[in-house]
Structure 1
Amino acid sequence: MAITAAMVKELRETTGAGMMDAKKALTETDGDMGAAVDWLRTKGLAKAAKKADRVAAEGLVGVQVEGGRGVAVEINSETDFVAKNADFQQLVREITGVALAGAGDIEALKAADLNGKPVSDVVTGAIARIGENLTLRRVQVLEGETVVSYVHNAAADGLGKIGVLVALSGPTEKAQAVGKQFAMHIAATNPVSLSEATMDPAALERELQVQTAKALEENAGSAKPKPEAVIQNNIIPGRMKKFVAENTLLGQAFVMNPDQTVEQAAQEAGVEITAYARVMVGEGIEKKEEDFAAEVAKTLSGA
């Protein structure tokens, strides 16, 4: 498969690897982007950059909670300037209120009534009025005994760049008191799942393959290779345990007290975290393409 400048650029942005390393990874994996990422990780060349941290979409997340139900709604705009517009903020606030009242998924929310019109028509009207393309992108609903919310980079009450909801069981006062701390933790660390039990089995298997290949390659290049049993029974399981701890909410070190895991902090507070949701503006939306093709093309043609 021909390796293009755009493919090299995408892999560099995804992994933080150097240009030549990205090109080699794509060449070795016949242009398979996912396999190329794993190849770079196996070689220790991929940095811990996350694609979602580099998205360019703007807008706001609206968050509202009532009783044991909370919602987070993302509406995108073309520029951050519009996100500061009072008209746009009121639009996000009103649509979030509609979601809280019962519209549990994005299609139901678009069809729901807002001031006598479907929400989708209200958004269309706002596009003409505000002068930018607006997108009602997603809604997250969380229910539980107690639901606590937090908004990071708040533009106004209940509106910001990151919205977090946490559902907890246990005494209400305790859950509300500690729940916001857990929500702030989630905003900062962006865990992949609640616990190992809720992680995607395919993601765990893929990580196991990466760590196995990496450990075997490191051992092969070592001046003092370790026995195969040590690799299989100690090193690889140890790395997988670390991976799970770093990527699950309950296993992470609690940002308010790194000597405890989040699970231990919850137990100490007498509550249990049953679910969470984190919505960040623009998460997963690609940047607009930048023109540095000449630099990459030169590198490709010179190989």
Structure 2
Amino acid sequence: MAITAEMVKELRDKTGAGMMDCKKALSEAGGDMEKAVEVLRKSGVAKAEKKSGRATKEGKIITRITGGKGAMVEVLCETDFVATNEKFINFINGIVERTLELDGDGCVTEKAQAAEQENMVAMIATIGENMQLRRAARWVTNGKLASYLHMGGRIGVMVDVEGETDEAFLNDLCMHIAAFKPDYICPNCIDADVIAKEREIAAAQLTGKPANIIDKIVDGKLNKWYSEVCLLRQPWIKDDKTCLAKLKPNLKVNRFLRWEVGEEL
């Protein structure tokens, strides 16, 4: 059966595959459109397997918030060229929308990866680069959610808060988290063994000091460390003479995420 340009176009519109791949699939399927789609899907799996070992160091983070639900996903690819490609961005937007509708509250990476497996294979076949859905989170809250993307989606932030706030301040809060990389919300959120280790390190730096002042110096060092790693204690992004705890004493930060493309997990 003769393969026409119209048939190739129809298959491309259905699958997003390249023109030559579509023509080859239609020839193999004897012009049967559904069989050609199946041929392309099988071909896509083979191509994805071949590319699976290639390094994925670029990518993008996307967030989506609807009412009391929020989602954030990170999808990696091989090159910055693809990371800024409209087709790739539309693909990630689709993933985050579907992640928003998954079950669960918190990390949903495995669920999202399973749900997007076929879509990922098809996109790898279409784009021609290895890709991976690296992580995904979905939150449900009775409070307020906000998110922020920095450097074109290389850094993504999502926060869940309750109490006194507004949209502008929440945006500032997300920007602060993006810039200052807090590890914890407050000192009470830090495991006791982590604090004990920091206290031990601080005390070891004071060899030779009188024992009666070591505890006071260690306490001072711990307070300085808290101001570096705790969101509520860090110097505020717009006024380093104050901090979030003083600015918004009635604001409760339930949780936050700060992701950076390709960072160590």
TM range (shorter): 0.7 to 0.9
Q: Which residue of structure 2 aligns with residue 130 of structure 1?
A: 127
Tell me if 1:280 matches 2:260: yes
Give 1:258-277 correspondences, 5 Å limit: 258-267=240-249, 270-277=250-257
1:255 is displaced (CA, Å) by 0.8
Q: 1:168–1:272: 8 Å Cα contact kept in structure 2?
A: yes
Letter in 2 for 1:283: E
Whether 1:210 aligns to 2:192 is no
Q: Distance in 2 between matches of 1:148 and 1:131?
A: 34
Report the Cα distance in structure 2 between the residues aligned to 1:251 and 1:274, rounded to whole angstroms: 15
**SS, match of residue 215 in structure 1:** coil
User: Cα RMSD over matched residues?
Assistant: 1.8
Q: Deviations over 1:209-237 (max 9, x none)?
A: 22121222xxx4xxxxx312112x21111
Q: Which runs of 5+ in 1 are unaligned?
A: 1-55, 113-118, 155-159, 221-225, 286-303
Gaps of 5+ in 2: 1-55
State the match for 1:108 in structure 2. Answer: 111
Map 1:284-303 to 2 at 5 A.
284=264
TM-score by length of 1: 0.64
Q: Deviations over 1:255-287 (max 9, x none)?
A: 1111211121222xx5332221111111107xx
- Measured after TM superposition, the shift of residue 201 of structure 1 is 3.0
Q: Name the aligned partner's letter for residue 129 of structure 1.
A: T
Give the paired residue count: 206
Structure 1 segments (4+ residues) deviating >4 Å: none
Equivalences for 1:35-54 in 2 at 5 Å?
A: none
Which of 150, 156, 162 is matched with 1:163 structurally? 156
State the TM-score, normalizing by the size of structure 2.
Answer: 0.73
Instruction: Find the aligned partners of 1:250 and 1:209 in 2 and give their Cα distance.
Output: 24
2:175 matches 1:192: no
SS in 2 for 1:141: strand
- 2:75 corresponds in structure 1 to 75
1:184 deviates by: 0.3
- Structure 2 partner of 1:62: 62
Q: Distance in 1 between matches of 2:240 and 2:138?
A: 29
Greater relative contact order structure (CA < 8 Å, 6+ sep) = 1
Question: How many angstroms does 1:205 deviate by?
Answer: 2.4
Contact 1:146–1:176 (8 Å) recurs in 2: no
**Residue in structure 2 matched with residue 148 of structure 1 by the alignment:** 146
Does the aligned pair in 2 maintain the 1:75–1:134 contact within 8 Å? yes
CA distance in 2, matches of 1:128, 1:199: 45
Q: Which has the larger radius of gyration?
A: 2
Q: Counterpart in 1 of 2:16?
A: none
